[in-house]
Amino acid sequence: DTEVTQTPKHLVMGMTNKKSLKCEQHMGHRAMYWYKQKAKKPPELMFVYSYEKLSINESVPSRFSPECPNSSLLNLHLHALQPEDSALYLCASSQEPDRVNEQFFGPGTRLTVL
């Protein structure tokens, strides 16, 4: 298995809803990432998990809450989002957090906040 999967593919939510995005990889990678991507822009890093521990939080608002239940799974819990949070949310993984190596991306979740 050489891919990163993400669910759901699309999500529409109101500003008072609570929802979660899910990401899974079975490549044995020990670093996992959440990125946010607006239209026609490059991905922006939100969080990094290294060996299932949060290692980077790029000053993301607390309405985004990441969770790494095990080495294969990464969740992003969403609560009280704003319309400007609408974007493509990408998950990625890489083999080892301790050295620079390639990041592999999932297909993304297209989030719309009404």
Q: Which residues of the shown chain bind another protein in the complex (CB under 8 A)? A: 4, 6, 31, 33, 40-43, 45, 48, 50, 55-56, 88, 90, 92, 94, 97-108, 110
Comparison of 90 and 113: residue with beta carbon closer to another protein: 90
Question: Residue 76's CB: how many other CB atoms inside 10 A?
Answer: 23
Report which of 87, 69, 52 is spatially closest to residue 78, judged by C-alpha positions.
87
**C-beta separation of 45 from 35 below 8 A:** yes
Comparison of 108 and 113: residue with beta carbon closer to another protein: 108
**C-beta separation of 105 from 93 below 8 A:** no
Shortest CB 42 distance to another protein, Å = 4
Task: Give the amino acid at 16.
Answer: T
Comparison of 79 and 110: residue with beta carbon closer to another protein: 110
Shortest CB 24 distance to another protein, Å = 14
Angle, CA of 75, 1 and 58, to the nearest 5°: 30
Shortest CB 44 distance to another protein, Å = 8
